[in-house]
Amino acid sequence: MTDDSADSALQQARILMQALPHMLRYDEAIVVVKYGGHAMGDDRVARDFSRDMVLLEQSGVNPVVVHGGGPQIGAMLGKLGIKSEFADGLRVTDKATMEIVEMVLAGYINKQIVGFINSEGGRAIGLCGKDGRMVTAEKLARPTLEDGRTVDLGFVGEVAKVDTTVLDQVLGRELIPVLAPVAQGADGETYNINADTFAGAIAGALGAKRLLFLTDVPGVLDKNKQLIKELKVSDIPGLVADGTITGGMIPKVETCMYAIERGVEGVVILDGKLPHAVLIELLTDHGAGTLITR
């Protein structure tokens, strides 16, 4: 065992010493974890994350992992000489780009996460929205840009419908589903769906107790850059209006609201690079991020 592995195991053991009451709270509960592209760029972080998913499953929790992969998609497109075009931060996805997106998300990244979880003693199964018609997509409506123009994003979709049949067969059977946000539309085309939105739709359809967004920030910060531990959905419009929540955090909290509207009990934004962030959030009194509830 390497020094890093030993330190990680020791930290995990310390968390478990105070975890029993919290484990009972999440016994047989579904917890959806959105694992971001930036959070999974480090092998040590990936192994810690995988170990935590295995521990949750062995403790009676039903974890579901939804992953992104924007940086990895960008890197592969660069290697292949395919130039990415963006409109207000959204990738314009033509047919050739969509083929690479599907290859990277449902292939390379998905199976890499499955491999990490399996290496830590779990039984992960890699899926995407296409499998068992789990998610039906529809083409994302043309967004209006800041200058008033509309743009066709190509094969970028949003969730039209979730069918949990496949996941219902997997959960509770010592398996950890790992989901790529790629789905087929009623038109037969394949669409890339924003991973946050995909995770929110999956969590809502499953009636998840928690949806965790692993990001590259500690959570929602106040104007003094201090972490806000808890928020109600009703607090969010005011915090956006007064400038407390700005920039890229706005779509994150909007996605949290979307998930809660669909039946998720609580959504947490937390730093995915914090060692054992998921365990700290779920199994300790102080948590690790910002919890948003109804």
- Write down the domain spans for the chain: 27-293
What does the pLDDT look like over 263-284, one tens digit per residue?
899 999 999 888 888 888 888 8
Residue with tokens 């083409």: 139
pLDDT at 286 (0 to 100): 73
Question: Which of 29, 38, 53, 66 minimizes the C-alpha distance to 196?
Answer: 66
Name the fold adopted by 27-293: Carbamate kinase (3.40.1160)
What does the pLDDT look like over 104-148, one tens digit per residue?
999 999 999 999 999 999 999 999 999 999 999 999 887 666 666
- Which of residues 157 and 283 earns the better pLDDT score? 157
* Cα 130 from Cα 184, distance rounded (Å): 6
| Single pTM value for the model | 0.88
pLDDT at 9 (0 to 100): 62
What does the pLDDT look like over 167-203, one tens digit per residue?
999 999 999 999 999 999 999 999 999 999 999 999 9
CA distances from 18 to 4, 11, 23, 281 (A): 22, 12, 10, 12
> Mean pLDDT for the chain?
88
Q: Looking at residues 209-235, what average pLDDT do you find?
A: 93
What confidence category does residue 166 fall into, taking pLDDT thresholds of 50, 70 and 90? very high
